[in-house]
Amino acid sequence: MFSFATLASAALLALISAAPASCQSIDPVTKLPVGYVWSVTHWVAGGVRAGSSYDFNVSAAYVANPDPQYPPGKKFLAYCSGLSPYAAPDVAGFYQPCKVFEGGSASDGFGVAAYLDPYDIVKADGVARIHVSMEYLDLSFAQVPTTRNYSGYYEATFNQVSAPPYDFTIVPTAAMTV
């Protein structure tokens, strides 16, 4: 479960890594700097009567882009929690907004969202595939505002009753610009 201490730990991690990192290349798909990752901390997921639940913090440090025609990796800190139904025909996951503490606000076009793939209780493999998306309004690269959306996923485990919370990283693997 979310706690102030957990958020403080994530904030401290973000501050420690807040100094702009340097990189030498960009990802060919996302055009983000190589090395730009999202840090998930205090991951907890488990089964509930209606499906599966998840609870975690996610943050990223600013990373400069070596190619000035592409945006840098954006710094942010958010808390995500939600529910996902159990897998069934025609059941799909959907993004739920996370609470953003740093990086922007909905009023200025910034948001972080997450969803957990519906869990297949027949397969019962213990995999909790979490998807995270970060979107913002970019005013720096064109005369017309550009909405940028990046997403990535990680195959975590359900650990609510069997293991302590843990940390991992998500590499953004998809990008959309509108």
- The length of the chain in residues reads 178
pLDDT in tens, 50-107: 789 999 999 999 999 998 888 899 999 999 999 998 877 677 778 999 999 999 999 8
Domain residue extents for the chain? 4-177
Cβ 71 vs Cβ 141: under 8 Å: yes
SS (H, E, C) 120-155: CCCCCCCEEEEEEEEEEEECCCCCCCEEEEEEEEEE
12-38 pLDDT tens trace: 444 334 444 444 699 999 999 999 999
